[in-house]
Amino acid sequence: MAELKLEITTPEKIIFEEEIVSVTVPGSKGGFEVLVNHAPIISTIEIGEIKVVTKNNSIKFFATSGGTIEVENNSVLILSDAIELVEEIDIDRAKDAKARAEKRFFDKEKKEIDMIRAKAALKRAENRIKVAEMRLTAKA
């Protein structure tokens, strides 16, 4: 039987690399799942949650700031500037980042480019908090 191999990588390091059953990602047109023998595809990934079902049927969740996914020959490569395993998210740090982003976003003296960056930072922080709280609460 064919195997599906997943690699999740940031510019700094490989975050996850093993054979899996499936991976579900937040695509630009909605979430989609990749299974063994999936058709080749290259797509963007939005800010959101990535769900991985491993070979032993455990489920791993990651918070991502977006990126790309490439699927070819039962190999999946996810590239992202920032991605974290849910158990590694420091919720207090994420809440601090959210507060800083909100302060920057609502600063009336900021230029438009600063507003765009602040809005992106706010979305990333909110996603990290949402994914971590939802998944860590479910495990309790």
Q: What is the pLDDT of residue 136?
A: 65
Return the CA Rg of the chain: 16
Q: How confident is the model at residue 47 (pLDDT cuts 50, 70, 90)?
A: very high
Q: What is the pLDDT of residue 52?
A: 97
Q: What is the pLDDT of residue 102?
A: 85
CATH class for the domain made up of 89-139: mainly alpha
CATH number of 4-86: 1.10.3720.10, 2.60.15.10, 2.40.30.160, 3.40.50.300? 2.60.15.10
- ∠ CA 90-47-82 to the nearest 5 degrees? 55
